[in-house]
Amino acid sequence: MKATFRLPNTGKGWISLGLIIFVILLGSWPVIPLLNNETIILGMPILMTWSVIIIFLTTFIMWFINKIGGIK
């Protein structure tokens, strides 16, 4: 009796998974410390500007994966 997990089975599937992990990392531990300073960008604290960027980047990545058919 095998106990394997379902994983992506195409190159596009793996690329899609990689992109999702990438965008989650952008909003968490490895990246946030790099931006944790008092800089003001576009009139807002850098973390606020970054949050807005993440909003649009996440939407873009989901749109892109829909486009390439990476996740059925």
Partner 1 sequence: MGIYIPFIITVSYMVIAVILGYSAGKGRNMDDAEEWGVGSRSMGPIMMYLLIGAGGVSAYTFMGSPGWAFSKGVPVLYVVIYLTYMAIVAWYFGPKVWELGKKYNHVTQSAAISDRYESKQLGGLASIVTSIGILAYAILQTTGAAYILNVMSYGLIPTWVGVFISLGVISIYLYKSGLKAIGVTNAFQGGLMLVVSWFVGLWATHQFTGGYSFRPIFERVKADIPEFMTLPGALGDMNVTFWTTSILISIFSIWQTHWIQWMGANSKKSIKRAATLLPTFYIVLIPMIVVGFIGIFMYPNLANPDTVAIQMAVDNMPVIVAGLLGAGTLAAAMSSSEPCIHATALSYSKDVLQPLLKWDDDTAGKWTRRLIFPIMVFIIAPISIMEPASLVYILLIGYGFIGQAFPAIVGMFFWPRATKQGTFWGLFGGFIVTVLFSFVYPHPLGVHAGIWGLLVNMSVFVTVSLMTKPASRETIERFFPDMVDELYEEDTPTNTIEAK
Q: Where are the beta strands (DSSP E) in 1-72?
A: 40-41, 44-45
Amino acid code (one letter) for 67: K
Binding flag, residue 8, partner 1 (CB under 8 A): no
Q: Which is nearer to partner 1, 15 or 71 (CB)?
A: 71
Residue from 18, 44, 68, 69 in contact with partner 1 (CB under 8 A): 44
Residue 28 has what DSSP assignment?
A: S
In whole angstroms, the minimum distance from the beta carbon of 11 to partner 1 comes to 18
Q: Using CA atoms, how far apart are residues 8 and 65, in angstroms rounded to an integer?
A: 13
Binding flag, residue 52, partner 1 (CB under 8 A): yes
